[in-house]
Chain A
Amino acid sequence: MNFQKIRNFLGNYLFVAPAAALFFIFSLYPFFKVFQLSITNWDGISQEMTYVGLANFKDLLTDNPVFWLSMRNAFFVTFLALTAQNLLALFLALLCDRDIRGGNVYRVIFYLPPVLSGIVVGLIWNWIYDGSYGLLNHFLTFIGLGDLSRAWLSDAKTALISVSVIHMWKGFGWGFVILLAGLQSIPRDLYEAARVDGANSWVVFKNITAPLMIPVFILVSILTILGTMQIFDIIIATTGGGPGYHTEVPITRIVSTMIGASKFGYACAMGVVFGLILLAISMIQIRVSKMMRQV
C-alpha cells in the first residue's frame, strides 16, 4: 500500500519535472549566481576569479557617475511615461468609454504599436528623426519652423526626449486597453444615478470613476515603471546610449560593462543594485496603494 502510494507520487512528479528542471537551471541558478559573481572581479573568460567582497558595490555607489546618470535617464523616461503617456491613455480611454461609434477600431489601432518589437519601432523612428532626411525636419520646414530642425537623436539636447517620445508612442496603447477595460467594468447605473442628481462630467469623474479605478491606476503605474526602467531595445536600435552618455539606461550600461568591458562581476553588482531599486519602487507603490484604499 505504502509502496504504491510512493509510486503514485513519483508518477505525479513526472508531470512537474520538466518545468521544475527548466526553472532550476535557467531561473534559480542564474538568480543566485548573480549574487555570487557580484562579489568577484571575474572577467567572464579566465578560469579563476577573486572574491573582492563589496568592492564592486562600493565602486558603483561612490565612483561610477555614468551608472547613476543612466539611472537618472531611465527615471526621466519613466516620469514622462507615467505622466504624459498614461494621461493620454486615460483621456483616450474616457473618450472611448462613452459608447462611441467605432470604439473597437480605435482600440485595434492604438494597440498596434505595443505588439511591435522595440527594434522595429526604433529603426523606423530613426529615420523620422534623421538630421538630413528625417520626416520631422521636413515637416518643421513645411510649417515654417525650419529653424528648429536638427539631428534629433544625436543632439545632446534632444536625444533623451526624442527617445522618450518613441517609447511613449509604443506604450500608450497598452495603458489605454487596460484603463478602458477598467472603465468598462464600472456599473453604468452609478453614472446614471449621478446624472439624475445633476452632476457634471468632472464631478462624476472625480467622485465615481477615479475612486473605483484606483486599483487599475496602481497596476498600470507599477507595470509602467518596471517596464520603462528596463527600457533597452528602443535605445539600442536608435542611439545606442549616445550621444556621449545622454541616453544611456541601466540595461545598456550592464550590457556594455559585461560584453564591452568584460567586467562580469561588476556587471552583476550593477544588476543587483538595479534590481533592488526596482523592488523598492514596487514595494513603495504597493504600500501607498494600500494606504489609499483604506482612506
Chain B
Amino acid sequence: MTAAGAMEVNYDRVRKMTVSFFSHCFLAIVSVTCLFPLWWAFASSLKTQQTVFKDLSLFPKEPHWENYYFAWAKADFSLYFLNSLFYTVTVVVGVLLVASMAAYAFSRLEFPGKNVIFILLISTMMIPIPGSFIALYVLLNKLHLVDTRLGYILPQINGGLALGIFLLKTFFDDLPKELEDSARIDGCGRFRVYWHIALPLARPALAVLAIFNILAVWNEYLLAMLVLSKKSLMPLQRGLMVFQGAHITQYPLLMAGIVITILPVLAVYLMLQKHIIKGITAGAVKG
C-alpha cells in the first residue's frame, strides 16, 4: 500500500493548497478593490489643492491635516455633522420607542382589530411605492413641515416602523411570559411591565434595530434633498452635495468632508459588524 498511498495523499494536499492559494489571491484582489477607493479618498484629503492632481502617492509625505480643520470649521462640515448626529439620535430613539410599544401590544395585549392593524403596519415592508415621496412632500408642505427638523425626522421614524415592529414582535413572542405575569399580579400596570420588564429583556433585538436605523438615517439623501433647503438644517449627505456643487475643484476639502462622513459609519460598522451581519442574514435566510 505504502508508496502509492503516500503519493495519493501528497497529490491531494498539493491540490488543496493550490486551490487555497488561488482562492486567497482572488479574494485579496477583490478586497483591495473594495478598500483602495476609500484609502485613496483619505490620502487625497491630506494633499493640497496644488499637489492633489500630480501627487498620486498613497502615503503623502507631508500630510496636510489642517484640511480637516478647514473642512470642519470653515466649510460647514461641523454644522452638517451635528445635524446628522441629531437626526440619527432622534430618529433611532423614536423608532425604538414607538416600534417597541406597538410590538409589545401586538405580542402581549388584547384589543379588537389587532391583526388587521398589525398587517397594515408591516405591509409597507412588502410593497414598494416609488413616487409616494411626492405626496409626502405635498403633505409636509401642507403641515408647514418643509424646511423643519420635525419634517425630516417624523417620516423617517415612520420609515423604520415596519421592520422594527416586525422584528420586535417576533422577539417578544419568543420571550417567556412568567416574569410579566407575576409582575402584573403584584399590581404593576401594563406600561410599567412593558417599560421595566419587557423592554430591558429585548435589548439584543433593540440593538440590531438601532444599528440598521443608524446606518439608514446617516446615509439618507432623497428626503433631505426634498425637505431641507436651509443650510443650517442639512445633514452630511446633503451638505456634501451642496459643497461639491459650490466648490467643484476643492478636492482635498471635499475628500476631508467625505472622510468625516464615513468615519462614524466605519466606527459603528467595525465595532458591531458581527451583529450587523447576523441581522441581515437572519432575516434573509429565514425568510
Chain A residues with CB under 8 Å of chain B are 9, 11-13, 15-16, 18-20, 22-23, 25-31, 33-34, 37, 44, 88, 92, 95-96, 98, 100, 102, 106-113, 115-120, 123-125, 127-128, 132-133, 135, 138, 169, 173-174, 177-178, 180-182, 185, 216, 219-220, 226, 230, 232-233, 236-237, 250-251, 254-255, 258-259, 264, 267-268, 270-272, 274-275, 278-279, 282
Which of B69-77, B104-112, B178-186 binds A? Answer: B104-112
Which of B3-11, B59-67, B200-208, B213-221 binds A? Answer: B213-221
B135 contacts partner chain A, Cβ-Cβ < 8 Å? yes
Q: Once the chains bind, are A268 and B38 in contact (CB under 8 Å)?
A: no
Nearest 5 A/B pairs, CB to CB? A271-B131, A181-B281, A117-B219, A15-B105, A30-B135
User: Given the complex of chains A and B, what is the CA–CA distance between A120 and B265 in angstroms?
Assistant: 12
Q: Once the chains bind, are B221 and A119 in contact (CB under 8 Å)?
A: yes
Q: Once the chains bind, are B134 and A117 in contact (CB under 8 Å)?
A: no
B273 contacts partner chain A, Cβ-Cβ < 8 Å? yes
Instruction: Across the interface, name the chain A residue whose C-beta is closest to B218.
Output: A117
**CB within 8 Å for A112 and B117 given contacts A29-B135, A138-B56:** no
User: Given the complex of chains A and B, what is the CA–CA distance between A11 and B133 in angstroms?
Assistant: 33
User: Given the complex of chains A and B, what is the CA–CA distance between A178 and B121 in angstroms?
Assistant: 26
Query: A26 CB to closest chain B CB, in angstroms?
Result: 4
Q: Once the chains bind, are B237 and A16 in contact (CB under 8 Å)?
A: no
Query: A9 CB to closest chain B CB, in angstroms?
Result: 5
Q: Can you report 7 A-B residue pairs in the complex whose CB atoms are below 8 A from each other?
A: A26-B158, A33-B138, A95-B26, A109-B31, A112-B35, A124-B38, A135-B56
User: Given the complex of chains A and B, what is the CA–CA distance between A290 and B120 in angstroms?
Assistant: 25
Q: Once the chains bind, are A274 and B111 in contact (CB under 8 Å)?
A: no
CB neighbours of B277 from chain A (8 A): 107, 111, 177
Chain B residues with CB under 8 Å of chain A are 19-20, 23-24, 26-27, 30-31, 33-35, 37-38, 40-41, 44, 53, 56, 97-99, 101-102, 104-106, 109-112, 117, 120-121, 124, 127-139, 154-155, 157-159, 161, 165, 190, 194, 215, 218-222, 225-226, 237, 240-241, 244, 251, 254-255, 258, 261-262, 265-266, 269-270, 273, 276-277, 280-281, 284-285, 287
Q: Once the chains bind, are A117 and B221 in contact (CB under 8 Å)?
A: yes
Q: Once the chains bind, are A219 and B287 in contact (CB under 8 Å)?
A: yes
CB neighbours of A12 from chain B (8 A): 105, 109-111, 190
CB neighbours of A282 from chain B (8 A): 128
Query: B113 CB to closest chain A CB, in angstroms?
Result: 9
Q: Once the chains bind, are B134 and A264 in contact (CB under 8 Å)?
A: yes
Instruction: Across the interface, name the chain B residue whose C-beta is closest to A132.
Output: B53
User: Given the complex of chains A and B, what is the CA–CA distance between A169 and B157 in angstroms?
Assistant: 29
CB neighbours of B134 from chain A (8 A): 30, 34, 37, 254, 258, 264, 267-268, 271
Contact of B135 among A13, A31, A119, A270 (CB under 8 A): A31
CB neighbours of B23 from chain A (8 A): 95, 98, 100
**CB within 8 Å for A182 and B285 given contacts A16-B117, A26-B136:** yes
Q: Once the chains bind, are B31 and A106 in contact (CB under 8 Å)?
A: yes
CB neighbours of A279 from chain B (8 A): 127-128
Main SS at interface, chain B: helix
Q: Once the chains bind, are B139 and A29 in contact (CB under 8 Å)?
A: yes
Contact of B31 among A23, A26, A110 (CB under 8 A): A110
CB neighbours of A268 from chain B (8 A): 131, 134-135
User: Given the complex of chains A and B, what is the CA–CA distance between A250 and B131 in angstroms?
Assistant: 10
CB neighbours of B254 from chain A (8 A): 123
User: Given the complex of chains A and B, what is the CA–CA distance between A100 and B38 in angstroms?
Assistant: 26
User: Given the complex of chains A and B, what is the CA–CA distance between A174 and B34 in angstroms?
Assistant: 13
Query: A238 CB to closest chain B CB, in angstroms?
Result: 11
**CB within 8 Å for A230 and B121 given contacts A128-B37, A264-B138:** no
**CB within 8 Å for A20 and B117 given contacts A25-B139, A95-B27:** yes
Instruction: Across the interface, name the chain B residue whose C-beta is closest to A219.
Output: B284
CB neighbours of A180 from chain B (8 A): 281
Contact of A115 among B117, B128, B136, B265 (CB under 8 A): B265
**CB within 8 Å for A274 and B104 given contacts A27-B158, A116-B262, A120-B262:** no
CB neighbours of B130 from chain A (8 A): 230, 250-251, 254, 271, 274-275, 278
Query: B124 CB to closest chain A CB, in angstroms?
Result: 5
CB neighbours of A178 from chain B (8 A): 280-281, 284-285
User: Given the complex of chains A and B, what is the CA–CA distance between A34 and B258 in angstroms?
Assistant: 35
**CB within 8 Å for A118 and B190 given contacts A108-B273, A216-B284, A268-B134:** no
**CB within 8 Å for A15 and B241 given contacts A22-B154, A22-B158:** no
Instruction: Across the interface, name the chain B residue whose C-beta is closest to A35.
Output: B135
CB neighbours of B124 from chain A (8 A): 23, 27
User: Given the complex of chains A and B, what is the CA–CA distance between A44 and B142 in angstroms?
Assistant: 11
